[in-house]
Every structure is written in structure tokens, then in C-alpha cells.
A and B are shown apart, each in its own frame.
Chain A
């Protein structure tokens, strides 16, 4: 079980392979990689995203989210990697990988981690376009996505 907050690029395939190595009884591996899109929310071409973060809290909060996922589903292992700093279109921002004996738990846990992370991990995106830089506004859809996990 691990969380990492870093500025460096990561290789999702290698991270996932490393996570799976040494585990037996893994029947399902689900990975989600979030990428930097080529356009800003306004539709304008994006030059880069800069992610600001509260690093100490980010690590603690991601650990709390991972612990909650492990309490809800029978996971064999999990990994969350989140970048900050300057990120170019096409580059990965976040990786969530979940390992479990069966697929349902791995899928659900990965989705749960992402939904929680979007609204509670202390990261803030700033978009750079030809018109300048602006902070990304939080999206109601992210709050709605989180809501379903508290229903029963």
C-alpha cells in the first residue's frame, strides 16, 4: 500500500508491474491514469497546467482515502501517485492502481479513490493558455460523483 506525491513523470505500466510483483492470488488489476488534456476548460489550447499542492496534507489525505478503500473492499494492494508542478498536455497527472482477487472490488475501489481524491486531496490546477493563466474552478459534477458513495 503506498501513496506518492511527486513532480517527476511516472510510467504507469512500470508502476503497475512493480505493484503486482510478489503478490499471489491477484485476480484483478484495475488502473486509472489521469492525463493533462490538450485544451483548457474554456476550450482554448492549453500550454501547460501547473498543479499547486499542500504536500504534507496531500500525502496524509491520500493515505486516508486509500485506507478507507481498503476498509470497504478486499484489496490485496493499492497505489496512488499524484504529480504537482508544471505538467504538459498528454502527460500523466495521477495514477490509481488497485489489486484484488476479483474484478468488482478492484473497479469499485479505483473509482472510489478517484472520486474522493478529486474533491478532498489538496491540489489546485492553474491553466496556462495564450491568454494567460487562470485557476480551474471546482466542478459540481465532482461533488455529485462523491455523493453516491455515501448512499448506503
Chain B
């Protein structure tokens, strides 16, 4: 699946997008975040805040949302548009 990062999440991870396959047992957004945190200090820093929001295939998704079948998962801070 494709992972997208925006705003300070993007800055901390150090890239805007990547392709990744989560290991077996990672089935929800919350579990995916926990796995991402384990991938290195830049990920740990990017995902240290509980305020991070996620979207699955361009729709907002809660931490318990299932990621099976997702093509594109985005992570970003709380929105500040308007």
C-alpha cells in the first residue's frame, strides 16, 4: 500500500510518500501507527503524538479502522484550513 505524510508528519518522517507492506498482525490504523513508530527515530518522532489523524483511501479513519484492502493511507496533524 502507499503511505502518504503531510505537514509536520511529512517533515519528521523525511518523505512525502512511500510504499510499504505492514507485517502480519497489523490490521488497524492504530496498529499500523505502532509499527511505524518502531521503524526508526524519525518515525518515532513523527508518530509520538496521539493527535495524528489518518485517512484510508481519502476518507478519515479512526484508530480502530481496518486497513485490509487499503490502497492509500495518509497520516497528518489535525487540520488547520479555512
**A residues lining the B interface (CB < 8 Å):** 34, 51-54, 56-57, 60-61, 82, 93-94, 114, 117-126, 135-139, 142
Contacts and interface: CB of A to CB of B under 8 A. Distances in A.
Nearest to B76: A122
A117 B80 contact: no
A124 B82 contact: no
A39 to B, nearest CB: 16
B78 A117 contact: no
Contacts of A54: 4, 6, 55, 58, 74, 76
A53 to B, nearest CB: 7
7 contacts: A52-B10, A54-B55, A60-B58, A82-B82, A117-B82, A118-B79, A124-B79
Contacts of B82: 34, 82, 93-94, 114, 117-118, 121, 123, 142
A65 to B, nearest CB: 11
A121 B74 contact: no
B77 interface: yes
B7 to A, nearest CB: 4
A117 B55 CA distance: 15
Nearest to B5: A54
B58 A125 contact: no
B79 A122 contact: yes
